[in-house]
Structure 1
Amino acid sequence: KNMPRYARISVAPIGGITYLPYFSLTRNDEVNAESFEEKAKIAIEYYNRTIIALNQINTLYFIGNRGNTNQEEYAVGGQEQKNKAHFLELAGALAILDFCNEINSLKPTTQVKEFGIEHDTNTISFTDLNIGNAKMISPPLTKFKLFTEYLNKGLSRSLNVSRWTKSNIRLVRGNKQSLLDSNYFKSAEYRTQIQPFNDYFDEWLREMRENKPLFSPFEEITADNALELVKGQTPKGNKSFKALDIQNCLLTDNISIRNRGKKHTMLIKMFGRSTDKVLSKRNLVIR
């Protein structure tokens, strides 16, 4: 009771997530993967008696997958445990967002929720999610994936060609020249900050694509068919990065995003707007 804001904390809504087993181990030692499911049943029974029946929290989420077909390298924990990214972790993040969205309509009794998808499949794309979850993650993930794909596969074609990458255009005032020129993309700041972060994002998607169930909402693309990025979506017209270049050229001297001292911020804001414009116009995201 002596802690700061005790009165508010004591009545704060509480949510919990219980993960059911969704992987096994390469070998059994101190931790035995063969006992995961039996221990999970015991834990669920305990939660039923001590949490759900007594209404100890507002919402309890159960997340799991049938069968432990994914194998992880044995480790007791700590730095040695390096489990690959899994779709069920993304499902857990969606559970947190669901809880926050329901914060003003919580019931006095403990509500139990399970995460589910619309179609029984081991290869999950955006259209396999319920519409609420699809609307939540399709736009930001698709925008950022198009951003990273452009920088990896489209930027080399645009550097010193597309206006938004040129800082030496004749008869153009300095405040109209691009701040995101070849010098920026060769800079140590870009190579040590933007590139590694994007690489981690792509690694995260790749690991979820290689786990079971697979989360694989994107196609492999080239610079010429870039807008065929989203599985199940085939846009009409030009499918290359050209539309993105056009939008970037329109935005390059926009004073609301132009920032000489924060070029990373300018890059993110520019592509945030240009990817949104292009994807929305082609109906490539779920809204």
Structure 2
Amino acid sequence: MKFEGMHHPLIEVLLSQIKDLETVSRIVLRTAMQETGSRNGFVGVIDPVSKALEIKVFEDTGKCLMKKKTSTFYPDENGKYPLLFGYALNEKTAFFTNNPRAHPASKGVSRNHVPIERFMAVPIILNDRLLGLIALANKEKDYTEEDLEKLKEIGRYFALALERYWLEEELRASKTWYEILWEQVPLPILLIEENDIISQVNKEFEEFTGYSKEEVVGKMKWQQFGHKEYVEKAAVYKQMRIKGEQAPTEYEYRVIDKNGREHDVIVYARLIPNTKKILAIWLDITEE
């Protein structure tokens, strides 16, 4: 079976409690650099009040990309951000260039930056709101459309993580995060009650299994979607979580859809704090 490794740390971010933006940004940046072969990069977050882009993490193949530990870039009186990375924010568009000096938005770089030979940036956007930026530089070979698509996918996960962080900051106990998670994450998600009944699913779950929400929610148990060889193991893990014992946070499972087709998946499961409910995400790893 194959496993799309880049999803692993990003799904972990979505399921885990986000304690600080630096930690999340570091995971996102290192994943992005690894997936694209970039030697340099930074991740910035836009303050929802001041609209300033606060750079949270810089990396130069493990070293600091800038001399300063932190940098903040404010938009000008027209709401425009500076430098080449500002183009991605100002236009709300992802782009790459293998000749930065020739790019129309290039106006030099800060003296704190390393020389830029190739550049790629993706604005972090959710519901048309700018949340941040991922910028990469200096891949040994030219950047490609495939690199850009990888970074855009990482950006979608980062957008959800940032939205969750700000919601938790503002509301703390809000259920809004889970509502966003249901319909924004491009993976099947299900919420399992203590009695094994499924109490919520998203659209991806419906498409993946062939069952409608009306057929599943409040009526079906999670075991009904699993191959019998895998259900027993998963049931043990569920009880361990509810009892507060250490259980695997990810494991292989086999899902059977409405048409009887079998799908190999990685299950990412967490106990929702202060409840006995399990939040599970499926990542399809079925070989084609």
TM-score by structure 2 length? 0.31
Q: Which of 1 and 2 has higher RCO (CA within 8 Å, sep 6+)?
A: 1
Q: Which of the two has greater helix per residue?
A: 1
Larger radius of gyration: 1
TM-score normalised by the chain length of structure 1: 0.31
Higher strand residue share = 2
